[in-house]
Structure 1
Amino acid sequence: MQHALVLLGAAVPVVVGALVLRSRAGHPIGWLLVAHGALFFVTLTLDEPATFHAGLIVDQLTMGAWVLLFLCLVLIAYLLPDGRAANGFWRWWVRIGLVGVLAFVIGAAGDRQGFAETHSGAGLPVPWLPEPVSGFLGVVGLVLVVLLSFGSFFAVWWRLRGAQGDVRLQLLWLVWGALSVPVTLLAGWVNYFLLDDGPLFPAALGLVAAGLPVTVGIAILRHRLFDIRLVLSRTLTYLLLVAAVVAVYALLLFGTDRLTGNGTVGGLLAVGVVAVAVHPAYSFLRGRIERWVYGLRSDPQAAIRLLADRAEAADPNGLITAVTDAVAAALRVDGVRVEPSASEHDTALRAHMVHRGEHVGYLAIEVPAGREFSQTELDLVQDLARYAAILVRAEQLNDELRESRSRIVAGREEERRRLRRDLHDGVGPSLAAIVLKLNATQSRKDPQERNALIAETRDEVKAAIAEVRRLVDDLRPPAIDEVGLLDAIRQRASVLSGEVTFEVTGPDTLPPLPAAVEVAAFRIVSEAMTNVARHAGATRCRVGVEVDGSFELTVSDNGHGTDRTTTRGVGWTSMRERAAELGGSCTITSRPEGGLIVRAVLPLSEERAEAEA
């Protein structure tokens, strides 16, 4: 049986390594698998002591070769999945460990006592090193070999912390295969203490030699063969549960036997304790392991806290990225993205994001192949989508605000350019012509000619005055200063009246208002009433003005209203931007009985308005 296990442990890595090399030519892990099979076969077939001189020399040189038994598998742990160490630190760690392996093999070849014990007291055929030197090399090399072996666990853990997607799945395959190592050690102890060196340990050793290379090969070639997360979580849960049950049972049995001298009582007590503790222990272990493997699917509150923490720490311009990263970390999925609309050809799981009845987008989740979400996970996805909708909408509003401010600045510069052009092309030439005509008038001696030039100059001045008045009216409606804001609104309503009857209500006397508020309010109400007259299909429109800490303007009509698919035009955008420029707000909503309500709220503090603008 032992020879069959040796052949199995040697042949499987060679075959798997050949498959890896065939699929990915020159892949370092493929060569390491082949080398592992060869070393495993040579190391375990040369364990019988030789009787001739050349064989004794080989035995001496290979006394420390047992460290090569699983060296290649240890190196694979550092190099999986791409054949390279994670960073410079781990590269140097591997190199120092390999130097330690060489030092141990050299030092072990000078171990006189060990050679004599295995060869019936014979001396070293080649006493090439003084015993203190070989002993020193052996000790130092053994320490470095142990550090190299245990360091592989930390190297895999370090990679797993930041791994996502396929890389994480490949590493989890390695972790699953590496679980055979502690199982083999446990089998060795059981085999030694309870079975008197029976066949259990060689069988477990063959399992590691063959099973771990198979999982490594799957990690490289077919890491989506099935949901390794589910298998790993179940394996870890039951392994730890069995180990805990055995340990508790053995300790209770040993303790009661020592205290009472009655093994039967200890056995009954141990059975009772184990029976009571198995289910709570199983639930605890399963929750912790599934949280590590699957994320926070069993702890929705922790998932929401993670989303909130990531969003709070994120840069304002990277809020959506922080949201998707948090959801991916909470669900342990390959990737998460925010999409404006659903794709018919994509297989991603999508959750509809809605904020205050408004469509925000879809939370698209890339589910690993072979994994199906349970109802608990689907509920968690919906909860995360609800909270993500708030954050995504905040990011969208932030983008809209930036665009709005850019348009405001661009509009302001365009207005300045227009004023410059109008002054340069209109008022400027008129004033220049007036100066020329005044000079000509001064040089004329004939009264009739002088009077004619004065008349022409008077006409030029009137034209210049009219141009200046036009420019001023464009900057601020004159009706506001002539009759007041409320009456100016009534005048505008009177102009638009026809099929629509406008009703303007407000306080008898308005308090002094900031000039910017008056202009913004007049422009907003003019745009709103114009929309009602042209597009609403309404017969009545009510305009209400209130001043109570802030200026509130309401325009409501009884028209056909709109729906969510209606494209917001330039007028709607202009009203919102005018209010936002002063630190206020402008909302447009539908009335239950039909029509729209435009409500603008403008702050009255000029300092606040300027600061927020």
Structure 2
Amino acid sequence: MERKEMIVARTGLSRFSAAGLLGASVVLFFVTAFGAGLVSAVDAPSTADIIWFAGFLAFPLVGGLIAWHRPENRVGWLFLAVGVLQYGAAVMDGLSQHMVATHPGSVLGPLLVLVQNALFALGWVCATTYPLLLYPDGRLPTPRWRWALHATTAALAVLITSVVVTPGRVFEDDYAQNPLGVPALETVAPAVTTVTLFVLLGLTMIGMASIIVRWRRAGGADRDRLAWLALAAVVFIVTTVAGLVTDAWTPEWAGAALEGIGVAALPAATGVAVLRADLFDIAVVLDRTIVYSVLTGLVIAAYLGSFAATSTLLAPDPSRSASLLATAVVAVSLSPVKDRLMRVVDRLLFGDRSRPYQVLTHLAERLARTNALEELLRTVTDALSTMLRLPHAQVLVGAEVAAAPHMLALPLISHGRQEGTLLVGRRSGQARFDAAELELLTDLAGQIAIAVRAARLAEDLRESREHIVRAREEERLRIRRDLHDGLGPLLAAASLQVDVLADRALDAEASRLISKIKALISQSVTDVRQVVHGLRPPSLDDLGLVGVVREHATALRVAGLHVVVDCPDDLTVNSAAVEVAAYRIVTEAMTNVVRHADAGTCTVTLNLDEHRLRVEITDDGTGLASPHRDGVGLASMRERADELGGSVTVAAGHGGGTRVIALLPVPSSSAARM
């Protein structure tokens, strides 16, 4: 309860402070705008000056809103400080002029000038560098950016100090001297001031770079907040350029209004980004603003260029004719430019939706190179997101699913069966897809359905083949055990009984018959052993996969090949099919090393995780021939891996020789028992 009361009290104090700073800014603005003319020796500001100063009111107004609703966000407090500092500097300017004019010998006037400069410098970094580093949540992009914050503070302190200790006149047209100036620093202090100003400018550029870093890492709402800042930058650039272009034939207050709009753009955009980033689709507004600003600039430039050219051609009385001709030239020449620009914008916002045939063709080409179902689903997601600029695209295989309010669900139907659902998300600010785009998505869904059906059937076929192979090996294992444990002992017992019968034979004919029966039994035992060995190598049951590999490695050492076996002693494979395939692949690969590689060392590595067995055989031999063709042994290894849904890769080793890697899927314990 006490903690809750403390939070409430702290929030109330924050709001009271925000209201106080906002009120101080408003009061100082009115003092600056309407009180200057009441003080002697101070000229009253013009209408243009008042309009320009009014643009800075956006900082404390927006800062007050942010501090009221998000008191933990330092950007709001910085904007509140801008209002107090900017208008405080203006008040100090008026008071310093008054004191210097009415009290020439007083030190108060020059001191007020120094205070004005310090307040203006503080206002600059509070309006630019600091907010850029902390935008939009009041925190740095990462702790590594803390140095820029500290460097700005240090540079600001150095700047104020260098200005304070610079000796000389505080006004260029007045004899008033800086009372705090140090004569010994007459040449050093101005140089430090100049260098520090450039340092602060560089730190402001670094603050802009931090916005770029945030943009690259951001997504969703965070990217929208950054887009608002980009919109403010566009507005500032457009108003500045417009003011420069129109300055010659517009009243002074019009240029001041454009400058005021440019100044207010940053705090206004920041306020919306922090408090209501989802007000509308900022990406669309930003792109449209950029496009129409560029288009307007082209229109003006083309008009002025055409007017100047026709004025020269139609001299000496060019005004009316040149104007008409320039207008016609602009109307005719910029129409295709406008269409081209609109197509570029439409592609940036909506991708290739205006070229449905190209979208269908591109998707078909990508699907044709995709085999696995999981890879196909990723391909569809990437293709639709890229080609149509969709915020979300997903294929769900199976039964129909319900779509979220901002999503569109399209059934994937092929040969009368629903293979799944295509979910696509509407773009931000888009209430629904238009008819042409909906038709394109429907056509894409039909194409995707066919690909999903083909991939699913191929996967079902592969799984069925794997199941058959695994079942075959398990059945072979069962038959081998039955022959070894059942028929083998019976034949051995029959042979013993025949021996007993031979000892009791009464005549030679009976002895010959008994010998023949014993021979048949011995032949049957040999045949059973051959059948058992053909079904499954007995050594796998006696020694296990690791033991068999090490035994084979020992046998190859006689041929002069040093074999290193790297695998856990307790490695156990719960699938008879995988165990046999791994055994055949390893023995065939090591045999190939002896026959063809002319190697001195061979390394066999076996690793087993939850999903697969990895078998790797490397040697330091002569390596692969170029061009390389699979022989009977390699083809056999690939077939054994393919049967289980695995793969065999044969490539050159890192340090020479050859490397064979086999990846064999291992079923779960429950699946292996099925």
C-alpha distance 293-357 of structure 1, shift in aligned 2 (>3 A) = same
1:420 pairs with 2:475 = no
Q: Distance in 2 between matches of 1:436 and 1:379?
A: 84
Identify the residue that residue 489 of structure 2 maps to in structure 1: 429
1:335 pairs with 2:392 = yes
Q: Distance in 2 between matches of 1:96 and 1:258?
A: 56
Does the 8 Å contact 1:303/1:330 carry over to 2? Answer: yes
For 1:207, the aligned partner's letter is: I
Identify the residue that residue 370 of structure 1 maps to in structure 2: 429
What is the CA-CA distance between 1:56 and the residue it aligns to? 2.4
C-alpha distance 127-114 of structure 1, shift in aligned 2 (>3 A) = closer
For 1:432, the aligned partner's letter is: A
Question: Normalising to structure 2: TM-score of the pair?
Answer: 0.58
Give the number of equivalent residue pairs: 478
Q: After the TM superposition, which residues 194-593 of structure 1 pair with which residues of structure 2 at under 5 Å, given as runs?
A: 194-195=249-250, 198-257=252-311, 260=315, 264=319, 265-300=321-356, 318-340=375-397, 341-344=399-402, 346-347=404-405, 348-354=407-413, 359-372=418-431, 373-386=433-446, 388-389=448-449, 392=452, 396=456, 399-400=459-460, 403-404=463-464, 406-442=466-502, 444=504
What is the CA-CA distance between 1:364 and the residue it aligns to? 0.8
What is the CA-CA distance between 1:48 and the residue it aligns to? 3.0
What is the CA-CA distance between 1:11 and the residue it aligns to? 5.3
1:180 pairs with 2:180 = no
For 1:343, the aligned partner's letter is: V
For 1:327, the aligned partner's letter is: L
Percent identity, please: 30
What is the CA-CA distance between 1:181 and the residue it aligns to? 0.9
SS of the aligned residue for 2:424 comes to: strand
For residues 36-61 of structure 1, the C-alpha deviation after alignment (integer angstroms, 9 at most, x for no partner) is 44444434544436025345224225
C-alpha distance 146-337 of structure 1, shift in aligned 2 (>3 A) = same
RMSD of aligned Cα (Å): 4.9
Q: Distance in 1 between matches of 2:76 and 2:362?
A: 40
Q: After the TM superposition, which residues 93-104 of structure 1 pair with which residues of structure 2 at under 5 Å, given as runs?
A: 104=159
Point out where structure 2 has 5 or more consecutive residues left out of the alignment: 1-29, 34-49, 100-105, 536-634, 644-674
Q: Distance in 2 between matches of 1:246 and 1:219?
A: 32
Does the 8 Å contact 1:323/1:391 carry over to 2? Answer: no
Deviates more, 1:302-311 or 1:360-369: 302-311
What is the CA-CA distance between 1:363 and the residue it aligns to? 2.0
Does the 8 Å contact 1:74/1:152 carry over to 2? Answer: yes
C-alpha distance 379-608 of structure 1, shift in aligned 2 (>3 A) = farther
C-alpha distance 37-63 of structure 1, shift in aligned 2 (>3 A) = closer
For 1:332, the aligned partner's letter is: R
What is the CA-CA distance between 1:422 and the residue it aligns to? 1.7
For 1:234, the aligned partner's letter is: R
Does the 8 Å contact 2:166/2:181 carry over to 1? Answer: no
Q: Distance in 1 between matches of 2:169 and 2:451?
A: 69
SS of the aligned residue for 2:421 comes to: strand
For residues 166-189 of structure 1, the C-alpha deviation after alignment (integer angstroms, 9 at most, x for no partner) is 233222222223322113313542
For residues 65-101 of structure 1, the C-alpha deviation after alignment (integer angstroms, 9 at most, x for no partner) is 5564475355444544454555688666666566555
1:126 pairs with 2:180 = yes
Q: Distance in 1 between matches of 2:203 and 2:447?
A: 46
Identify the residue that residue 572 of structure 1 maps to in structure 2: none
Does the 8 Å contact 2:72/2:138 carry over to 1? Answer: no
What is the CA-CA distance between 1:309 and the residue it aligns to? 8.9
Q: Distance in 1 between matches of 2:408 and 2:438?
A: 10
Q: Distance in 2 between matches of 1:397 and 1:237?
A: 48
For 1:346, the aligned partner's letter is: A
For residues 543-569 of structure 1, the C-alpha deviation after alignment (integer angstroms, 9 at most, x for no partner) is xxxxxxxxxxxxxxxxxxxxxxxxxxx
Does the 8 Å contact 1:184/1:208 carry over to 2? Answer: yes
Q: Distance in 2 between matches of 1:399 and 1:357?
A: 20
C-alpha distance 30-378 of structure 1, shift in aligned 2 (>3 A) = farther
For 1:26, the aligned partner's letter is: E
C-alpha distance 395-279 of structure 1, shift in aligned 2 (>3 A) = same
What is the CA-CA distance between 1:339 and the residue it aligns to? 1.6
Q: Distance in 1 between matches of 2:75 and 2:342?
A: 33
Q: Distance in 2 between matches of 1:12 and 1:306?
A: 49
Does the 8 Å contact 1:63/1:109 carry over to 2? Answer: no
Q: Distance in 1 between matches of 2:463 and 2:124?
A: 65
Does the 8 Å contact 1:249/1:271 carry over to 2? Answer: yes
Identify the residue that residue 53 of structure 1 maps to in structure 2: 107
SS of the aligned residue for 1:226 comes to: coil
Q: Distance in 1 between matches of 2:507 and 2:185?
A: 135
C-alpha distance 70-278 of structure 1, shift in aligned 2 (>3 A) = farther
For residues 301-354 of structure 1, the C-alpha deviation after alignment (integer angstroms, 9 at most, x for no partner) is 675687579879999664423431332233334322212344335221123334
